[in-house]
Amino acid sequence: MTEHHSPLHGVMGEFETPEQLLAAARKAREVGYKHVDAYTPFPIEGLAHAIGFRWTAVPLITLIGGIGGGLTGFGLQYWCAAISYPMNIAGRPLNSWPAFIPVTFELTVLGASLFAVVGMLALNKLPQPYHPVFNVERFASASTDRFFLLIEAHDPKFNLAESSRFLQELSARHVSEVKDEE
Amino acid sequence: MSVTQPPLNSPDIRRLDPVLEPGHTYASVTDKIAAVVLTRPLGIGWLAGFTLAFGVVMLLFISIAWLVIKGVGIWGINIPIGWGFAIVNFVWWIGIGHAGTLISAILYLLNQKWRTSINRFAEAMTLFAVACAGLFPLIHTGRPWMAYYMFPYPSTMGIWPQFRSPLIWDVFAVSTYGTVSLLFWFVGLLPDLATLRDRAKSRYQQVIYGILSMGWRNSARHWHRYQSAYLLLAGLATPLVLSVHTVVSFDFAIAIVPGWHTTIFPPYFVAGAIYSGFAMVLTLAIPLRKAYGLEDFITMRHLENMAKVMLATGLIVAYGYFIEFFMAFYSGNKFDVFLAEQRLHGPYSHFYFALILCNILTPQLLWFEKVRRNVVALFLMSLVINTGMWLERFVIVVISLTRDFMPSAWGRYSPTFWDYSTFIGTLGLFVMLIFLFVRGLPAIAIAEMRELVHESDAKKGHT
């Protein structure tokens, strides 16, 4: 798949505690690795920051969804009641906006929620049926009690022997090569 | 302060029960919760319970089929009581459906650790309760296949729903609530589905949980976006959960019918919804923790906290009943005064007194620690409160409709067999879905429990 047809995706170090992983992730960034990822059975505070991931577009997407939903909600009601089918009921205003608030509110929440979830999944590139990390047998414990640090092969500083040694020195309990069989 | 103060480690000071019994590791919580789904064989209890519930669902199907054949005339409704059981049950179910999102969203924003082990099945309960609730207005139309008339779509007739009507607000509020609850539930489930995928032994389990977990791989980048989305959903669901029962109460409060046209309705409906929702969570949690040995995760702390929430919301509901009476007399409006008297002396007064007994008097026992810490007493209390909340909706719907402005418009209401069979049928549907959920998906949020283990370990490290 890659230019060099390299079947290697990276090397992965396995750690026993979140603190060890956090320290290792910071160290990896310090020595100059750019393409690292970490895998943990539950979210760990500061870990995303430590692997160099700071900003996420999820809140912005949610805001857009909310504004879009609200405008759709109010616009729909205004258009139906005042433009498409105006009904004069005892001279009351056609744009009776206080009565339109509940539906506008509901559609604001609906739009924002749908965008938040779909946006989160899309940014995470899910659903994704295949990923090389699953080729590592020990990786299954990333959803139980093990913490993994991956140095990706396309990192400019990556070198199989050196990067493996680097992870071992960081007290990784086990270091595995991640093969990309696709 | 004084010399007689006992030392901090004295056994005389009662400590709060932990939210997680000590001694658990990441692996042990994962094993225990995942095992219920993946490896535990089907017990006779589960099979018997499921079969019974499934039978009751058949009763629901028969009732609906007969309804479609004959029309809503098979129910006890007639003018002036057009609403009857269908609306009573709708409001009751939707009220129960409030606890899940309250626990998941509001307690999450308030950083309450005790929400962790009860949020998942409370959310599932919410979804199933909303499904049961949504059924009633649908079949109450008599022609459920025409229900799409309620949605704004460009029809050849060129007409649109009446957006100034609370009944249309209800359509939007309930469908939004159902959708957002489903999203919230699914987002919460995603890492746990990945856990099940990683632990699944049989091929079909691997395929099913593999598809459902969408390739989630616990990456720090995934978690970062996930937490951002989850927090935003919690923030969005919080006003939403308060709005839904507010809109349901508008169905009544916007009308001019005596006993309905009051401004206390929105807050007291919301409090009542939380009250009945927590009662239903207890009704489910107590047997669940016993049957699957989850006492370490759903501890006395959870049960006691839920009892306290019930006590507090029960008092708000009691205040609502009091204000209804006060405002009726204070307004001097003779129709409101008459309706208040009808609640006490009218043909349905025994329902009203049963309601006061179930919703106000009995729950005062929750002031006593002995009652709050007695599992059997709490279970019975939750059933009493659920009954009381159903009676509340019956009192609101039926008494007002049978006694409005003109004596010539008065009437009586008595439900028929089909009213009861439909209601009991939805109870069966609810229980059946709960049975399926408990065996098909993790009933406790596994990833959040691991986080809890991490936090309690970290706390221990500091002392």
Q: pLDDT tens digits, chain B, 463 residues: what are they?
A: 455 666 666 666 666 788 888 888 999 999 889 988 888 888 899 999 999 999 999 999 999 999 999 999 999 999 899 999 999 999 999 999 988 888 888 888 988 888 888 889 899 999 999 999 999 999 999 889 988 888 898 888 888 999 999 999 999 999 999 999 999 999 999 999 999 999 998 999 999 999 999 999 999 999 999 999 999 999 999 999 999 999 999 999 999 999 999 999 999 999 999 999 999 999 999 999 999 888 889 999 999 999 999 999 999 999 999 999 999 999 999 999 999 999 999 999 999 999 999 999 999 999 999 999 999 999 999 999 999 999 999 999 999 999 989 999 999 999 999 999 999 999 999 999 999 999 999 999 999 999 999 888 777 654 4
Whether the Cβ atoms of residue A78 and residue A28 lie closer than 8 Å to each other: no
Identify whether the C-beta of residue B128 lies closer than 8 Å to the C-beta of residue B435. Answer: no
Q: What is the pLDDT of residue B100?
A: 83
3-state SS assignment for residue A155: coil
**Which residue is associated with the tokens 């490896």?**
B39
Please state, as a whole number, how many other Cβ atoms lie within 10 Å of the Cβ of residue B79: 8
Does A116 contact B229 at a Cβ distance shorter than 8 Å?
A: yes
> Are B448 and A112 a contacting pair at CB < 8 A?
no
Cβ contact (<8 Å) for A41 and B30?
yes
For residue A95, what are the CA distances in angstroms to B151, B157, B254?
Answer: 20, 22, 19
CATH number at residue B344: 1.20.1630.10
Alpha carbons A89 and A99: distance in angstroms, whole number: 14
Judging contacts by C-beta atoms under 8 Å, the chain B residues touching residue A82 are none
Cis peptide before B80 (omega within 30 of 0): yes
Say whether A113 and B191 touch across the interface (CB within 8 A). Answer: no
Return d(Cα B403, Cα B401) in angstroms, integer.
6
Residues in A closer than 8 angstroms to B27, CB to CB, are: 144-145
Q: B422: domain range?
A: 26-147+162-456
Question: CA B333, CA B339: separation in Å to the nearest integer?
Answer: 10
Nearest of A39, A88, A168 to residue B215 by alpha carbon: A39
Please tell me whether the interface predicted TM-score (ipTM) of this complex is above 0.95.
no
* Partner-chain contact A116 B232, CB within 8 Å: yes
- A58 vs B161, B176, B225: nearest CB: B225
B247 touches chain A (CB under 8 A): yes
B327, B262 Cβ separation under 8 angstroms: yes
Q: Considering only CB atoms, which chain B residues are within 8 Å of A107?
A: 172, 176
User: Which residue of A44, A59, A80 is in closest CB contact with B160?
Assistant: A80
Please check whether residue B222 touches A, CB under 8 A: yes
Mutation target for A interface from B223, B227, B456: give the one with most A CBs within 10 A: B223
pLDDT digits (tens, 9 = 90+) for A29-57: 899 898 999 999 999 988 998 888 888 99
Residues 6+ apart with CB under 8 A from B204: none
Nearest CB neighbour to A102, from listed B169, B214, B233: B169
Rounded to the nearest angstrom, the minimum Cα separation between B208 and chain A is 12
**Structure tokens that stand for B202 in this block:** 């049989």
Nearest CA to A136 among A17, A1, A39? A39
| Residue B463 maps to a domain | no
The answer to whether residue B25 neighbours chain A at the CB level (below 8 Å) is yes
Answer whether A180's CB lies under 8 Å from A154's CB.
no
CA distance A159 to chain B (A): 22
Residue B216 covered by a domain: yes
Which of B25, B163, B207 has the highest number of chain A CBs within 10 A, making it the mutation to test binding with A?
A: B163
Listed by number, the residues of chain B in 248-277 with a beta carbon closer than 8 Å to a beta carbon of chain A are 250
Handedness of CA A114, B223, A140, B36 (dihedral sign): negative
pLDDT of residue B455: 85
Q: Which of A107, A70, A94, A106 is nearest to B164 (CA)?
A: A94
Phi/psi at A67 (5° precision): -65, -45
Closest CA to B183 of A108, A62, A113, A111: A113
Other CB atoms within a 10 A radius of the CB of residue B150 amount to 17
A81 and B217 within 8 Å at the Cβ level: the answer is no
Interface residue B173 vs chain A (CB under 8 A): yes
Closest partner residue to B221 (CB to CB) among A53, A113, A131 is: A53
- The reported pLDDT for the residue numbered B283 is 94
pLDDT at residue A180 in the model = 85
With CB atoms and an 8 Å threshold, state whether B160 touches A81.
yes
Residue A145's alpha-carbon distances to A67, A114, B451, in angstroms, are: 41, 32, 11
Q: Is the distance from CB of B370 to CB of B400 less than 8 angstroms?
A: no
Q: Which chain A residue's Cα is nearest to B32?
A: A144
Tokens representing A131 are 């990923």
Q: How many CB pairs under 8 A join A and B?
A: 188
- Cα–Cα distances (Å) from B26 to A25, B33, B432, in that order, read 21, 11, 31
**Tally of domains in chain B:** 1
Rounded to a whole number of angstroms, the distance from the CA of A126 to the nearest CA of chain B is 6
d(CA B416, CA B438): 34
Residue B13 lies in a domain: no
CA distance B448 to chain A (A): 7
SS (H, E, C) chain B: CCCCCCCCCCCCCCCCCCCCCCCCCHHHHHHHHHHHHHCCCCCHHHHHHHHHHHHHHHHHHHHHHHHHHHCHHHCCCECCECCHHHHHHHHHHHHHCHHHHHHHHHHHHCCCHHHHHHHHHHHHHHHHHHHHHHHHHHHHCCCHHHHHHHCCCCCCCCCCCCCCCHHHHHHHHHHHHHHHHHHHHHHHHHHHHHHHHHHCCCHHHHHHHHHHHCCCCCEHHHHHHHHHHHHHHHHHHHHHHHHHHHHHHHHHHCCCCCCCCCCCHHHHHHHHHHHHHHHHHHHHHHHHHHHCCCCCCCCHHHHHHHHHHHHHHHHHHHHHHHHHHHHHHHHCCHHHHHHHHHHHHCCCHHHHHHHHHHHHHHHHHHHCHHHHCCHHHHHHHHHHHHHHHHHHHHHHHHHHHHCCCCHHHCCCCCCCHHHHHHHHHHHHHHHHHHHHHHHHCCCCCHHHHHHHHHHHHHHHHHC
Residue A2 above 50 pLDDT? no
Can you tell me whether residue A85 is helix, strand or coil?
coil
Contacts of B259 by beta carbon, 8 Å cutoff, 6+ apart: B324, B328, B336, B339, B340, B343, B396, B399, B400
**CA–CA gap between residue B129 and residue B92 (Å, rounded):** 9
Short-list B397, B435, B436, CA closest to B413: B397
Please give the DSSP secondary-structure letter assigned to residue A177.
Answer: E
Distance of CA A172 to the CA centre of its chain: 25
Q: Considering the domain boundaries, does residue B8 fall inside one?
A: no
Q: Which residues contact B155 (CB under 8 A, 6 or more apart)?
A: none
User: Coil, helix or strand for A17?
Assistant: coil
Closest-CA distance of chain B to residue A123, Å: 8
B176 to chain A: closest CA residue: A110
Contact B152 A80 (CB under 8 A): yes
Q: Is B242 on the interface with A (CB under 8 A)?
A: no
Q: With an 8 Å Cβ cutoff, is B164 touching chain A?
A: yes
Evaluate whether B269 touches B250 at the Cβ level (below 8 Å): no
Query: Which residues of chain A have a CB within 8 Å of the CB of B225?
Result: 56, 58, 120, 123-124
Question: Closest Cα partner for B297 from B117, B119, B120?
Answer: B117
Nearest alpha-carbon partner for B363 in B271, B244, B267? B271
Are B248 and B176 within 8 A, CB to CB? Answer: no
pTM for the predicted model, two decimal places: 0.92
DSSP-derived pairing of the beta strands A8-15 and A174-179: antiparallel
To which H or E segment does residue A27 belong?
helix A18-30
CA B153-B158-B160 angle, to 5 degrees, is: 50
Q: Which of residues 29-48 of B touch A (CB under 8 A)?
A: 30
Chain A nearest-CA distance from B165, in A, is: 8
